[in-house]
Amino acid sequence: MASSSSNLISLKTSDGTVFKVERALAKTMKTVQAIIEEADANIYMIPIHNVFSHHMDMIIDYYKLSVAGKSKEFSVEKLDNDELKDFLLAVHYLNMEDLFEVLTQAVADRLEKKSVGYVRKYFGIENDFTPEEYAAIRKKNDWAFKGDDIEPEEDEEKQEE
Amino acid sequence: MCLNSFLQIYTTQDTLYRTEQQQHSTPIPATRSSELMGIRFSISSSQPSKPSLGELPESCVAVIMEYMDPPQICKLASLNRAFRAASSADFVWESKLPPNYHLIIRKIFDVSFPSHLEKRGIYSRLCSLNTFDGGTKKVWLDRSMGKLCLSISAKGLSITYIDDRRYWNHIPTEESTFSSVAYLQQIWWFEVDGEVEFPFPAGTYSLFFRIHLGKASKRFGRRVCNTEHVHGWDIKPVRFQLWTSDGQYVASQCFLKGPGKWRYYHAGDFVVEDGNVSTKVKFSMTQIDCTHTKGGLCLDSVFVYPSEFRKVKEFLN
């Protein structure tokens, strides 16, 4: 039997808050959509792991703006790098294509023209290479910085992971 | 699109529980965001100890890199393994290659072009100065923007009276990407023609003649410029013309000046609508007023650059 408010879907975030969202918004979350479609019984509440209520607030903001044709007004400038990364991971988990593109573009913009040292420091990325691997990757990518009068490297085998 | 997570749904009286078993991601090439696989998360929903971009899965990083320029992608490949793996994703480099790169490869490489190259390798290969047409032409992609550039050596041009050594000589040089330049001692009829047929990617291109008034040489390791034969260029301007096979035509004229330095003289622009067909471009530079002689000029080559380079590259202004 369909629940009385069948055009609303209940989503429960990791911090225990329940959001009732329109079906249309839930449809933009491919992860949630897959859960709904696979369920035999009617779903009353869908827990969404790794998504917090402040993420849902922003997701709902974005949805409202894009429905009004103003998705370009959505901004993540106020988020620091860690918050942006968390939000990106949440949206990635929910598999929301449009918002994912917006956030990856935002991260790319923050990384643009920054040196490796800066990116490593401000985004907290640890170097997990061995010294040999590090030297090899620097050498392999040298061509991108050289002038035009350089011979191409022979392509090596795809690196083993 | 598929998800690498398995759902087991239990129903009790009123609430629905779901447990998720997640597959650990195996090392796979990153794919486009709509086909994301191998989502890597800690199972517990408690706060991670110190969140960082370093925990982004490879597939996320690859999508981020799609928005970067090639030098940045290569730089950040040295951050960590996920970034390195993402930096070699085919779809990232496919977006940087010109859309018609298959045609370009076919035009400039013979069967020896390795077919197993990943897209990054193709990009890298196309960025070097690739010689074709019997060594008279070079073509390359600009490394940071992936835009096509082309040059035609003096030996690939039709220079009127080139065989008459009273007028013209090919002289060796270190100041060109080709091994020699054409030096004009003195002439009445100055005419240089040329043509090129190439699958230019769609866009607008500018054609330049790279010219040096005076003859440069090295004496005791220092560059010396001999301008004793430079004359006649200030009397009348030279005339440039450009034609394309689809009917574009542009003509202009200007005075050559500023001896002692290589200069790029802009001959005109042309537009390529469709990168799937070869565009044929003819061009000429003339000064055929026979009331005066002119000479002392070195002609290196003709360059074709994307027009947007005129704003960005100092040497083209």
* Residues of chain B below pLDDT 50: 1-50
Q: What is the pLDDT of residue A41?
A: 64
Task: Write down the pTM of the prediction.
Answer: 0.76
- The pLDDT of residue B135 is 92
Q: Quote ipTM for the complex.
A: 0.78
- Which amino acid appears at position B174 of this protein? E
Helix axes A97-111, A81-94, angle to 10 degrees: 150
Residues 130-149 of A with CB under 8 A from B: 134, 137-138, 141, 143-146, 148-149
What's the CA gap between B96 and B280, in Å, rounded?
25
What is the rounded average pLDDT of the residues A47-62? 93
Contact A104 B60 (CB under 8 A): yes
Number of helices and strands in chain A (H, E) = 7, 3
Q: CB of A1 within 8 Å of any CB in chain B?
A: no
Which pair of structure tokens corresponds to residue B223? 């560059």
Tell me, yes or no, if A5 comes closer than 8 A to chain B by beta carbon.
no
Are B54 and A40 in contact (CB < 8 Å)? no
* Dist. CA B35–CA A48, nearest whole Å: 20
Compare B295 and A3 and report the one with higher pLDDT: B295
DSSP label at B170? E
Q: What is the mean pLDDT of chain A?
A: 82
List Cα–Cα distances, B9 to A6, A7, A34, A41, B3, in angstroms. 20, 22, 13, 9, 16
Residue B258: left (phi > 0), alpha (psi -120 to 50), or beta? left
CA–CA separation, A153 vs A140, rounded Å? 8
What tens digit of pLDDT does each residue of A128-142 get? 999 999 999 888 888
Q: Which of A44, A105, A128 sits opposite B80 (nearest CB)?
A: A128
Query: Which residues of A fall within a CB distance of 8 Å from B128?
Result: 143, 148, 150-152
**Quick one: pLDDT at residue B9?**
30
Residue A98 above 80 pLDDT?
Answer: yes
Cα(B47)–Cα(B33) distance, integer angstroms: 26
C-alpha–C-alpha distance, residues A31 and A4, integer Å: 24
Residue that has been written with the tokens 């420091």 in this structure:
A121
Q: Which residue type, as a one-letter code, is found at position B154?
A: A
Question: Which range among A19-33, A40-54, B217-231, B233-247 shows the weakest confidence by mean pLDDT?
Answer: A40-54
| A10-19, A112-121, B75-84, B228-237: range with lowest mean pLDDT | A112-121
Q: pLDDT-based confidence at A153, cuts 50/70/90?
A: very low
- What's residue B53's pLDDT? 62
CA distance B56 to A80: 16
B258 three-class SS: coil
Q: Which of A35, A50, A104 is closest, CB to CB, to B41?
A: A50
pLDDT score recorded for residue B110 = 72
């994912």: which residue's tokens?
A: A100
User: Residue A156 pLDDT > 70, yes or no?
Assistant: no
Strand intervals (E) in B12-136: 16-22, 130-132
Judged on CB neighbours under 10 Å (0-12, 13-18, 19+), B131 is middle
Spell out which residues of chain A touch residue B16, defining contact as CB-CB under 8 Å.
Answer: 39, 41, 43-46
**Under 8 Å between Cβ of B122 and B97:** yes
Interface contact flag, A126 B7, Cβ < 8 Å: no
d(Cα B165, Cα B182) in Å, to the nearest integer? 11
pLDDT at A146: 65
pLDDT at res. A58? 95
pLDDT, position A19 = 93
CA dihedral of residues A11, A13, A16, A20 (deg, nearest 10): -30
